Structures are given as structure tokens and as C-alpha cells.
Chain A
Amino acid sequence: MSTTAKPMIASALDFAARSDTGRARENNEDNFQVAAELGLFILSDGMGGLDAGEVASRIAVETIHAHCRDAESNPDLPFEGQRIDGASETSNRLASAIRLANKLVRGAAGEAAAAHTGNGQDGSPKTAKGMGATVIALQFFADRVSVAHVGDSRAYRLRGSEFLQLTDDHSLVAQQVREGHMTEAEAESSPLKNVLMRALGVDDAVETEVDEEIAMEGDTYLLCSDGLTRELSDSQIAAVLGETTDAQSAADQLIDLANLAGGGDNITAIVVRVGAKSGRALAKIGRWITRSGN
């Protein structure tokens, strides 16, 4: 069954996004894009020498945004790749956008390589080795949210006191942990923790992981690059999300804390709250006043 529904109204979402170069790198290879009218939030962490990383992550976020926006006004927009059974139209469109982004990043990698070294001697186009990007994208619709990702950029959700990582990293060490070959602690200290099993721009096709969740009032969602999660523990992140009252101060504090902790990589955070917390509290107080006045 596929569900078609209007996007959740942007006014029901309190959101903020911030990206920072960090303290060790010279340039920022992360990119993000927010399309509130679509309920769409996209973050990408690029990689590759020279400016390849920035280019890759920019292509990724721009392609995904444009494809989802165009699909909104034109349902006949060509679909990229196979439909996922049982997933909503929103999820399928998001997956299509990510597959398209993969193609374009791969194309750009080929061009970059051609500019530097020319075509390979066998006539096949060479790609800029190492040019690629991760992506994490959330799109809110009706009472749900689609969560799509490739690589090790993550999405988290704070609901009440429960803090949950919604995405499984497509990294070598995460796979080893899932299969029981490694403990979490070993993964943390492994010299192989930078090895990704999936990324945009590496192969002609990319496996996009898509999940759907119920979006509930009071939920706080976080999209972030590994520059944040390498510096801060889950409990530190959860504490910031739980103790701040608005999305902007949450995003600001997360970036500041990650920089204080070392800022070893680019840091990007997008914080999205469903239904403003203060608004809820006011509504409760309002009810209480009404009742006590009766």
C-alpha cells in the first residue's frame, strides 16, 4: 500500500540547521539543504581531495531537493531505479532522488578525473578516486516521516526520555558489530572506522536504505555528520536536545560542544522538532486555567 498525503505543514515543525568547518580541517565538505514547504531536510558529508568533497555533497543535496520539489508539482516525473514494495510515495520519491544524486556525483567524479588525467587508456572514463558523499534525508508527511540514508551520516530521535539512533551506519565497523564480529568499543577504536560500505558516487548504482517512522508531537529529530558523533556521546547529544527549548539553540550548542571536544572534522547538525514544545506547555496551562476557572 502506498500512502499519498500532503506534507506536514511547515508551521508544525520548529527547525534549525548549522554547519561548521571544525578546528582541524581547512574546508567544509558538509552541505545541507532545508525545504520546509516540503517537510524535507537533507544533509551530506562529502569526501575526496582538492574540492571534490564539497562538490560531491553540494550536488547530492541540490539534486535530492530538486527531484523531490519537481515530483511534488509533477507526479509523472521520471522515477530513478526500482520502487520499494510497501513504501510510501514519499519514501519512494526520496529513494529515487538519492539514486539520481548518485548518478550525478559519479558523473562529476568522472569529469574531475578527466580534467586532471584525461580518459583512461582503455577508453573507459576514469573517475576521481575517492570522490563521494554520504546522505541522510528526512521528509515529513501526514503523521509520518521517511528516513533515507547512505553512508555514516545519521538520524536520531528523542521521544520523551527515549533517545534512538534511527539509522544503521553503512560502515565496515558497524557491519562487523551487527554481525557480532566486533564490540562497540572495538569499533570505536578501530583504525578501519573510516571505511564506508556504501556511498554516493562510488558505483553506478547505490543501495539506498529507507525506513518510515510515526512522527509524534514532541518528537525531536537530529540529522548529523560524523563530525558530531565522533566528538559527542549519545548521552551528551540527548542531553542537549532534551534541555534546549528551541531547535536553533540545540543546533548551536551541539556544534559548540563538538568544537570544544576537538572539532576534528566538519560538523553539521539539523534539528527538527514536531510541534513547538513551548506551545504545548502553553496549551496545557491554558486548559488548566480554563478548568480551574470553571
Chain B
Amino acid sequence: MPKLTLKFDNAILGEVPIGSKEVSIGRSPDNALVIDNPAVSHYHARVFIEEGRMMLEDFGSMNGTFVNGQRAKMVMLKPGDSVTVGKHTIVVSDASDMDGFAPVGASVARPAAPKINETVMLDTKERREFLRKVAAVGESAQVAPARVKVATLIVRSGKTDRQEYALTDKLTVVGKSALATVKLKGWFAPKAAAQINRREDNSYYIGAADKTPSVNGNPISHPTKLSSGDVIAVAGIEMEFLLRD
């Protein structure tokens, strides 16, 4: 059965299944999903099933309802969608679809003597089959990779050895260290102020080292994914992260 999971930051505040009864969302205590926050209207929105489709309707709320970042009035929901109400997030998931995938794994690697918690491995063909099924459910992140973009750091202010850096390495160190790519100048510059990792999927994450960097003015608390246009501030320098074609 599909369900809605209410989150604030990363904390899960509640879960409501979506069945034949609609799920009302709002600040009033008689809603099925209560969000006690002044930014939320008393009767803010509802989620309901119609002709087998999961729908979201905003009741003309003051601050709006956003689905995957887009303001919505009446919109169809699918598993994986993220609904934002005020500062809270409601994640749509469909656990029942997952159960349907069991045979994929179950058909392989059954040893003669089954043991507890036996690990099962999927080979390329099985993995593809699985991903195809996920795609059929409605959404998959396994879309064909877009053209590889070149990640660049442009120094806006502060003392560095260059104005611009192409981020082609797996690890880019910002600091005074001999192994740093973005070389900081000045007596008190840290050896390694921060690091940028290029991950397997060519996404970039910034992490702390001797200093805690800020992204768009917010100090990071864990490695944070960078988007084109993000402004990084660390150890007295300010840089813009850009993805170019």
C-alpha cells in the first residue's frame, strides 16, 4: 500500500498509509497528517486515490504545496515524489511495489543448504531486469546519463594560486598542502581546509577538513552535493562551483 512519510530535516515524524480513505494534511488536529507549524494552513491539502491514481490537491493554502519543487494545485503523485509543505517534507513511497520484486532475487543463488540471512547477488542481466521493473513502476533515476559536464571552480575572492580550476580529479583538496589543487596563499592558511570529491556518478560533494566550508552561506554538517551556481566559502576564500557543457 502506498504511504506518506512526514519528515523534518532528516527526522521521520510520522507515516500514513493511503488507502480508500483520503489523507488530509494540515495544522488542525483533525487532519490525518497533522503538521503543527504556523506556515501550514489548518486544512492545507489532501492526498487521495482516484481511478487508481494517487492525487494531491492543495486547498488554496496560504503558503502553497510544492511537489518536487513545483507549486501544485492538483497533481498526480508517484512513488519517490517529494511534497513540501512549509518546512516539512512528505515523501511518497510504495512499499507494495517492492514486494513484487522478490522473485528477481529469489530466483538466483539458492545454495543447496539454505542458511539464515543468505546474501543474494544479482548479475548484469538480473540487475537490468530489476531496473526495468522499477522504471515500469513510474520513476527511475537510471535514466541514460546526460553529456558529461565539466566542473569548474571560479575564485571570487581570496588568495589562491589561480582564478579558475577544472575539477577533473577524484579528490580536490583546498589548502596549503603540496598535494592541494586549489592552493591557498598566506601565512595562516590551513594545510587542508576542505575537500571536493567526484563520485562514481560524476556528482561532486564538498566536505570539511581542517575547516568547515559554507555552501550558499550555510555551514555544512556533512558532505554536501554541489549544484551548478553554488557559492563555497572556506578559509577566507569564496568560490563559485559551475557545471559547464
A residues in contact (CB < 8 Å) with B: 1, 3, 5, 24-25, 45, 47-50, 52, 84-88, 91, 129-130, 132, 142-144, 152, 162, 164, 172, 176, 178-183, 185-186, 190-192, 194-197, 199, 201-203, 207, 209-214, 216, 230, 264-265
A191 near B102 with CB under 8 A, answer yes
1/0 per residue, CB under 8 A from A, across B190-206: the answer is 01100101111000000
Given A86-B198, A143-B192, A214-B192, answer yes or no on A47-B121 (Cβ-Cβ < 8 Å): yes
In the bound complex, how far is the Cα of B114 from the Cα of A49, in angstroms? 8
A129 near B109 with CB under 8 A, answer yes
1/0 per residue, CB under 8 A from A, across B47-82: the answer is 000000000000000000000000000000001101
B117 near A194 with CB under 8 A, answer yes
Contact of A87 among B12, B101, B169, B209 (CB under 8 A): B169
In the bound complex, how far is the Cα of B137 from the Cα of A150, in angstroms? 27
With a CB–CB cut-off of 8 A, which chain B residues contact A209?
200
B179 near A185 with CB under 8 A, answer no
Question: Closest CB of chain A to B5's CB: distance in Å?
Answer: 6
The segment out of B33-41, B122-130, B229-237 that lies at the interface is B122-130
- CB-based A-B contact count at 8 angstroms: 149
A194 near B120 with CB under 8 A, answer yes
With a CB–CB cut-off of 8 A, which chain A residues contact B12?
183, 185
In the bound complex, how far is the Cα of B141 from the Cα of A180, in angstroms? 9
Closest CB pairs A-B (n = 10): A49-B111, A130-B109, A212-B171, A86-B169, A195-B105, A199-B121, A179-B141, A180-B80, A87-B170, A47-B119
In the bound complex, how far is the Cα of B195 from the Cα of A164, in angstroms? 15
In the bound complex, how far is the Cα of B192 from the Cα of A143, in angstroms? 10
B residues in contact (CB < 8 Å) with A: 5, 12, 79-80, 82, 91, 93-95, 97-98, 101-102, 104-105, 108-113, 115-124, 127, 130, 134, 137, 139-141, 168-171, 173, 177, 179, 181, 191-192, 195, 197-200, 208-210, 222-223
Residue of A nearest to B10 (CB): A184
Question: Closest CB of chain B to A168's CB: distance in Å?
Answer: 8
B93 near A172 with CB under 8 A, answer no
In the bound complex, how far is the Cα of B209 from the Cα of A236, in angstroms? 24
In the bound complex, how far is the Cα of B231 from the Cα of A67, in angstroms? 42
B223 near A164 with CB under 8 A, answer yes
Question: Closest CB of chain A to B146's CB: distance in Å?
Answer: 17
With a CB–CB cut-off of 8 A, which chain B residues contact A211?
170-171, 197, 199
B170 near A88 with CB under 8 A, answer yes
Question: Closest CB of chain A to B194's CB: distance in Å?
Answer: 9
- The binding surface of chain B is classed by DSSP as loop
B171 near A213 with CB under 8 A, answer yes
A144 near B98 with CB under 8 A, answer no
Question: Closest CB of chain A to B180's CB: distance in Å?
Answer: 9
B141 near A264 with CB under 8 A, answer no
B200 near A203 with CB under 8 A, answer no
Residue of A nearest to B114 (CB): A49
Contact of A194 among B101, B118, B139 (CB under 8 A): B118
- Known contacts A47-B119, A186-B98, A212-B171, then 7 further A-B pairs from the complex at CB < 8 Å, ordered by chain A residue: A1-B168, A49-B113, A144-B171, A144-B179, A180-B91, A194-B120, A216-B209
Given A179-B141, A212-B171, answer yes or no on A186-B82 (Cβ-Cβ < 8 Å): no
With a CB–CB cut-off of 8 A, which chain B residues contact A152?
119
Residue of A nearest to B122 (CB): A197
Question: Closest CB of chain A to B167's CB: distance in Å?
Answer: 8
Contact of B179 among A3, A49, A85, A213 (CB under 8 A): A3
